[in-house]
Amino acid sequence: MVEAIRVPDIVPLEHILPDEPLLMMGAGPVPIPAAVAAANSIVINHLGDTMNQVIAQVKEMGRYVFQTSSSHVMGVGGPGSAAMEMAIANLVHPGDKVLCICNGYFSKRMAEMVSRVRGEPTLLHIDNNESASVELVQRELAKGNYAAITLVQGETSNTVCNHSLGSIARMAHEHGCLVIVDAVCTLSTMALDMDAWQVDAVITGGQKGLSSIPGVSLLAFSEHAWAKKIASRSHQPYHWCLDAQLADQFWNQKSYHYTAPVSGILALHEALRLVCAETLPRRFARHQQCSEALQAGIEALGLALLVPKQHRLNSVIGIVTPDHVSSDVVRAHMSRVHKVEISGAFGLNILRIGQMGEQSRAHNLFRTLHAFGSSMQAGGASLDLPAGMAELERSLSRHAIAQGAS
Ligand SMILES: Cc1ncc(COP(=O)(O)O)c(C=O)c1O
């Protein structure tokens, strides 16, 4: 055979990847525990007794993490966005009016997904890096006959948290709306009580709070939403892969939908197992204590946080880059010299440091704050690095959990 396309010159991975892996302290993906990495290296049959036992446990642990007794917990082979699209494709029918609360980039993505499945989104923009208030949402709900609302718990893009999520969800339910929540960066880092708050779909990715791998995601539908929009539907959703009825064959009926990403599901199993071992209250406390200590350290350096405390997300911290300093230069210096990676932002002049899953460990905070402060100085910022490190130490030492004590 004559090869029309020649064999490409390929550089082996070992020459592409850095000798020393970067500490991933950005907005995700985050570092994964050894048990998750080990599980991710295994391939088993996607059907059969072994996989059935794994799936049963993933669902059971998912119910704990989502705080729901719903029987409709399922995974999806795809990014967090695929889980968002699965929730929307199954709960929004053509012509449904949907109120999309938009705090930033990811909440707007849900509005776009609503229009792609032929729903009719109304965008409620929340400006100035603020959380959505119950009053504002209530006023908007009173105007229209909405079938659903979408909102994000934590808006990773600008580090705003919708702290009133529970009250908004309950109120929207009273208006007859289904409530679809993106908890991609927040699940298992802060409270989300799906059943108590009457949320109808919760979406998460693997690569953030759960400290698993990207590309395998988890979501839950309430029994109410399942009965109202999925079990009794009269039309088929546009997406075959994301059809919840078909997915149910795999997740609840031990049969085939598509070949599940077995290694990623095994990784997710281990990530969830570690969440269960830690327990949610302790995990929330660890995240809060670590994030607040890091925030205090950053402010003691002399830098400003983007979002005021009452609207601020703890899972991802947004730091204002001083005017004469380049965010790109700071990030490049951190990666090259300190082997610590953080994130830039979506058009905002901020740098973002994650506090999700394994990122929220005292040793990672010390390394990151030092690398950040000294890279800021190298980039031309004038700040007090010893004061920042001392404040981090002081703040962490007040909290036994953040230090790893049991
Ligand atoms: C809040 C939020 N929603 C959705 C997504 C989309 O997740 P993915 O990139 O895995 O599709 C992200 C990713 O950063 C996110 O932070």
The percentage of residues in the chain with a pLDDT greater than 90, rounded to a whole number, is: 94
- Beta strand pairing call for 23-24 and 340-341: parallel
- Ligand 1: which atom is nearest the Cα of residue 156? 16
- What is the 379 CA–ligand 1 centroid distance (Å)? 29
Q: Which amino acid is at 12?
A: P
Q: Whole-angstrom Cα distance, residue 398 to residue 33?
A: 26
Domains of the chain and CATH, by start: 34-278 (3.40.640.10), 280-404 (3.90.1150.10)
- pLDDT band for position 400 (cuts 50, 70, 90): low
Instruction: Please choose, from the candidates 343, 342, 348, the residue with its C-alpha nearest in 3D space to the C-alpha of residue 370.
Output: 342
Q: Is the CB of 209 under 6 A from ligand 1?
A: no
Residue 361, marked binder: no
Category of 99 on φ-ψ map: left (φ > 0), alpha (ψ -120 to 50) or beta:
beta
Q: Whole-angstrom Cα distance, residue 377 to residue 222?
A: 50
Express each pLDDT in 126-154 by its tens digit.
999 999 999 999 999 999 899 999 999 99
From 84, 85, 100, 106, mutation site for ligand 1 pocket: most ligand atoms within 8 A of C-beta = 106
- What is the 11 CA–ligand 1 centroid distance (Å)? 30
Chain-centroid distance of CA 158 in Å reads 13
- What is the 80 CA–ligand 1 centroid distance (Å)? 5
- pLDDT band for position 402 (cuts 50, 70, 90): low
The pLDDT value recorded for residue 406 is: 42
Instruction: Please choose, from the candidates 261, 293, 242, the residue with its C-alpha nearest in 3D space to the C-alpha of residue 403.
Output: 293
Q: Whole-angstrom Cα distance, residue 400 to residue 112?
A: 44
- What is the 76 CA–ligand 1 centroid distance (Å)? 14
From 24, 76, 81, mutation site for ligand 1 pocket: most ligand atoms within 8 A of C-beta = 81
Q: Is the CB of 156 under 6 A from ligand 1?
A: yes
Neighbouring residues of 104: CB distance < 8 A, sequence distance ≥ 6: 152, 155, 156, 157, 158, 160, 346
Q: Whole-angstrom Cα distance, residue 22 to residue 60?
A: 34
Instruction: Please choose, from the candidates 383, 229, 193, 218, the residue with its C-alpha nearest in 3D space to the C-alpha of residue 302.
Output: 383
Mean pLDDT of the chain: 96
- Please answer whether residues 364 and 25 qualify as being in contact, where contact means their C-beta atoms are separated by less than 8 angstroms: yes
Q: Is the CB of 96 under 6 A from ligand 1?
A: no
- Please answer whether residues 26 and 354 qualify as being in contact, where contact means their C-beta atoms are separated by less than 8 angstroms: yes
- Please answer whether residues 110 and 283 qualify as being in contact, where contact means their C-beta atoms are separated by less than 8 angstroms: no
Burial of 144 per CB tally in 10 Å (0-12, 13-18, 19+): middle
Q: Whole-angstrom Cα distance, residue 219 to residue 240?
A: 17
Category of 213 on φ-ψ map: left (φ > 0), alpha (ψ -120 to 50) or beta:
beta
Express each pLDDT in 243-285 by its tens digit.
999 999 999 999 999 999 999 999 999 999 999 999 999 999 9
Q: Is the CB of 182 under 6 A from ligand 1?
A: yes
